[in-house]
Structure 1
């Protein structure tokens, strides 16, 4: 079995005082992303400023829950993401936590740092349930190889922004997983939220997951897209995995206190 990754690895971007990095396609190998040029994103006369389409950091100092509904199946629980911004040692961060439906146990916790032309993933943890029956969750540290999350300046046609993370399961340390996500600016658009159309930006995605345990399991990369509304942030995301569509749309935003009441009500039912 071939154990070589089917996407070319890009150098990690570790200098948080510098800028977010990007690359561009060779069209002849678009499908497999076999070769990618490594260049640096810089603001110039042809750049499009999309800073205000990301999450509104100035408005999130007290935190806000974004409730995303699964599209096409009401029986699937929403995603509850809690976003909060903070300034620490002169640096601006955005934290995000995905909560399990019905309780306040986190599934994912991440922290992004703002650099001069984008947002970089600074740290991330996954949480696994202890299979021994104990109520404690197991924290899984994640290695960030390339942490590009969101660029403030893009060009059309745009280059590719790479996110690559790696981790080992706390329940099975022989199992190593790699997530590779390439984002490409797909243009300006509009998106309806709360009955009103808003200016928005759209990114095309290409994702892949490699699981290595007794050999490499690496299914074909799958496409997707994300949409961000000006002044609100991410409002829609979907992935096309085989013949299935995994799609979520922002339904509402509210304070953490409302989520606590919602989960308490669920537990009492």
Structure 2
């Protein structure tokens, strides 16, 4: 049986300021219940996403676990590639008005196929705001990583501007659940023997008590990356599927 080893703890000392729009009394609503349920992830859960209307696309598997340390709450996430190897690790910190990325690593394969863990530089780490207004507001996420450690001229940058759109509902396993809709504008820049950049527009749906249940990213006029949450289960269930 192939063992999938979730990374449960990796810590560095960082500040805990949350750089988003400060709350106001006029029209502010709290949507903290729509992010991943920290209180029920102490043992960890796999979130399995399946492509919408496209059976040729592989399922996506993300593992989330809540970690308590020094009276602080962290959400540790592991994203797996189609070969069930870690492709990205992240650690998010829960603060008073949202969730902020404080540590992240990406895995890149070299020419021999060997996977290398590369740390990300976090410039702006807002992953989910707890306080939003109907008038919108931009929540900034910006990371970059150096493809070749030690060479600062070769790197990739990802900038996401996330905007709260509205309250809505979503169907999950036959149950209609309250949800919130976000729109995302993403810019990917790559500096490697030249420069290229690509913009993407996305939609994200977060269901109350569950977290992310649906997302769609416009890759090109002819192709959209669209996934919906299929199931949630302990890591042991995923490992059993790989026997």
Which TM-score applies when normalising by structure 2? 0.89
Contact 1:162 1:182 in 2 (8 A): yes
1:25 matched to which residue of 2?
Answer: none
Unmatched 5+ residue regions in structure 1? Answer: 1-13, 23-39, 265-269
Shift of 1:261: 1.0
Name the CA distance, whole Å, in 1 between partners of 2:150 and 2:195: 16
1:21 matched to which residue of 2?
Answer: 19
Name the CA distance, whole Å, in 2 between partners of 1:242 and 1:159: 26
Shift of 1:100: 2.2
Residue 214 to residue 246, structure 1, CA distance change in 2 (3 Å): same
Residue 187 to residue 211, structure 1, CA distance change in 2 (3 Å): same
Residue 172 to residue 107, structure 1, CA distance change in 2 (3 Å): farther
Per-residue Cα deviation, 1:49-84 (whole angstroms, up to 9, x for no partner): 101011000000000000000112112111100000
> Which structure is larger by alpha-carbon Rg, 1 or 2?
1
CA RMSD of aligned residues (A): 1.7
Unmatched 5+ residue regions in structure 2? Answer: 1-13
Contact 1:80 1:98 in 2 (8 A): yes
2:176 matched to which residue of 1?
Answer: 197
Residue 121 to residue 44, structure 1, CA distance change in 2 (3 Å): same
Name the CA distance, whole Å, in 2 between partners of 1:151 and 1:187: 14
Per-residue Cα deviation, 1:179-203 (whole angstroms, up to 9, x for no partner): 0001000010000000111000010
Contact 1:128 1:170 in 2 (8 A): no
**What is the DSSP-based 3-state SS (H/G/I as helix, E as strand, rest coil) of the residue aligned with 1:21?**
coil
Q: 106-115 vs 163-172, which deviates more?
A: 163-172
Contact 1:102 1:263 in 2 (8 A): no
**What is the DSSP-based 3-state SS (H/G/I as helix, E as strand, rest coil) of the residue aligned with 1:68?**
strand
Residue 144 of structure 2: which of 161, 166, 179 is its match?
166
2:226 matched to which residue of 1?
Answer: 247
Q: How many residues align?
A: 228
Name the CA distance, whole Å, in 2 between partners of 1:47 and 1:124: 30
Matches within 5 A, 1:1-269: 15-16=15-16, 18=17, 20-22=18-20, 40-103=21-84, 105-134=85-114, 137-170=115-148, 173=151, 174-219=153-198, 221-243=199-221, 244-264=223-243
